[in-house]
């Protein structure tokens, strides 16, 4: 397991919390050294496209937080790249508040 954050202190804190993780501040270096099977992209939204493509091209399956990308074109390119490389690309859309919203709307 590896943790990567542009703020190395944040990566170290997370690694200590969950244990047994290498710590990185450079995603490309981490991907090359660790060679993970799966990557969770939870960087700031503006980096989702870059980090997702980087991970896919490194041979990883990717779980990306929402929003997938900053433009529809970027999102489609991410999807096309995953398909072309035979990798799974999933997005983490939370529906935990949907029942509350539906209760309010349907009153």
Q: From 3.40.50.720, 2.40.30.10, 2.60.200.20, 3.30.1490.20, which CATH number describes the 36-107 domain?
A: 3.40.50.720
Read off the pLDDT of residues 54-70 as tens digits, 9 standing for 90 and up: 999 999 999 999 899 99
**What pLDDT shows up at residue 77?**
98
Q: Domains of the chain: which residue ranges?
A: 1-34, 36-107
pTM above 0.75, yes or no: yes
CA distance 53 to 101: 34
Count, residues in the chain: 107
| Residues with Cβ within 8 Å of residue 31, at least 6 apart in sequence | 39, 54, 55, 58, 60
């Amino acid at each position: 397991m590896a943790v990567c954050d542009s703020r190395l202190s944040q990566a170290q804190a997370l690694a200590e919390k969950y244990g047994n993780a290498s710590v990185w501040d450079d995603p490309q270096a981490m991907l090359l050294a660790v060679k993970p099977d799966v990557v969770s992209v939870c960087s700031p939204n503006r980096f989702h496209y870059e980090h997702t493509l980087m991970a896919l091209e490194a041979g990883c399956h990717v779980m990306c937080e929402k929003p997938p990308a900053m433009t529809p074109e970027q999102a489609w390119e991410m999807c096309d790249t995953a398909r072309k490389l035979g990798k799974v690309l999933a997005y983490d859309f939370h529906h935990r508040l949907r029942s509350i919203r539906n209760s309010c709307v349907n009153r």
